[in-house]
Chains A and B, each alone.
Chain A
Amino acid sequence: MNHDLGRLPAIFKRYPKSPESLIAVLQDIQKEYQFLPSEALAETARVLEVPLSKVFSVSTFYNAFSLHPKGEKVIRICVGTTCHIRGAKQIQEQLESQLKIKAGETTPDLKFSIETVSCVGACAKAPVVIVNEKYHGPVKVSDYKKLVKGK
């Protein structure tokens, strides 16, 4: 898969060229591309002078990084204790069956991704669903259309 690597130099410019910048650079790449393209990992290793295997090790360690393209809309379902008690499981099942993907997967048309997260600190609004950066709660099972279609 070929990706436009033109946006990378601007990211590298923001941080000193040293191994300490690795996580910051990967975070910015994740933000820019919604995932970490393998070519970008190789380029990061070259620029920061970090062995490629170390870059790969770090990018697979943190859940915040993804090596696979994410959907346009990333739906994060909180399954922390409070949300769990208030029915997060049912919301997850509803969204999974409607979008025909499991949590952690992306629809083939790259429109949606479903993820589960453990507590986002918004327990008062449980159960919480986060669509891209927007927090929704308390969410009902019947709200799935709103979540999927709304902006």
Chain B
Amino acid sequence: MVSLTINGRIVKAKDGEMLLAVLRREKIDVPAMCHHAAVEPFGACRLCVVEITRAEWKGWCDYVTSCLYPVSPGLIVNTHSDKVNELRRTILDLFLARHPDCPEIAELAGEYGVFKTTYETVVGGNNCILCGLCTRICDRMGFTAISTVGRGHGKEVAPPLRQAPPDCVGCLACAENCPTKFIEYKLRKKRVTIWEREFELLTCTKCGKTTITKDFAEYLSRHRAIDAGYFEICDECRRKNLAVSMGEIVNWERELLT
């Protein structure tokens, strides 16, 4: 364990733990768009920038992305100094210029007092901030169905050959975790369409509500040792059913003991 000072308060943390993780645990509100607990920190959005210094730095300080900065003893952190706020305003100003129609960015920028970009607005862009969270999550889950394509100005997130991705199972994790809700999917009665691929949804055998895609269930039972029958009922019905199954277990235990 190490001690560091965050906004004047002494905080304990594991040595080498990433600073943003400590800030989140201490309930200190630092914005971040590309961060997700399931994947390695990436430092793409730059919004989690904080000011750091040490007693021996004699007044010098540094500005680092907290998601990628490991803590060490004696670190002094300021998450909302004037300079940090100014840096975040500049980043949000640039985001606003690139994505003028993105409500998520407008909201965050508004919190920092940026309501109109001071840069030239990009015409004909989209709401993808290219943080790569979707591709990293897809990778982490073991599908790697989508990836970044091209580079520089032409960079974008796309499936291979810009065609329906063969490795996608329709889990929708990319879309649900997109910080700007750029990845779209269409949910129809018993089908879902994402990345121009249509998937069949399984329905709960008890209540008829849709659960996950057939492809995802097949993947989980084949590669992740989860019984395919697990997905035949939805979570709600499973909870309802708990009384029955738990009762059976209790009975069974009693029989064993007597």
Contacts and interface: CB of A to CB of B under 8 A. Distances in A.
The yes or no verdict on A and B being binding partners is yes
A56 B149 CA distance: 7
A53 B150 contact: no
Contacts of B145: 51, 53
A38 B162 CA distance: 11
Contacts of A57: 147-149
A64 to B, nearest CB: 13
Contact of A60 (B144, B149, B166): B149
Contacts of B150: 60-61
Interface of A: 38, 41, 51-57, 60-61
Interface of B: 135, 143-151, 159-161, 165-167
Nearest to B150: A60
Nearest to B142: A51
Contacts of B144: 51, 53-54
Nearest to A51: B144
Nearest to B146: A53
A52 B149 CA distance: 12
Nearest to A50: B144
A53 B167 contact: yes
A104 to B, nearest CB: 12
Residues of B contacting A: mostly: loop
A52 B148 contact: no
B167 A61 contact: no
B223 to A, nearest CB: 14
A56 B150 CA distance: 9
A36 to B, nearest CB: 11
11 contacts: A38-B161, A41-B160, A51-B143, A51-B144, A52-B167, A53-B135, A53-B167, A55-B160, A57-B148, A60-B150, A60-B151
A14 B250 CA distance: 63
A52 B159 CA distance: 9
Nearest to B152: A61
Contacts of A55: 160
Report which residue of A52, A60, A61 has the largest number of chain B beta carbons within 10 angstroms of its beta carbon: A60
A51 B148 CA distance: 13
A57 B146 CA distance: 9
Nearest to A62: B151
Contact of B166 (A38, A52, A54, A61): A52
Contacts of A54: 144, 147
Nearest to B156: A60
A56 B161 contact: yes
A55 B150 CA distance: 12
Contacts of A60: 149-151
B151 A53 contact: no
A41 to B, nearest CB: 7
A1 to B, nearest CB: 12
A76 B165 CA distance: 34
Nearest to A45: B160
Contacts of B160: 41, 52-53, 55-56
A38 B144 CA distance: 18
A41 B149 CA distance: 14
B143 to A, nearest CB: 8
Of all A-B residue pairs in the complex, the 7 with the closest CB atoms, nearest first, are: A51-B144, A57-B147, A56-B160, A53-B147, A52-B160, A53-B160, A60-B149
B148 A41 contact: no
Nearest to B145: A53
Nearest to A57: B147
A41 B162 CA distance: 13
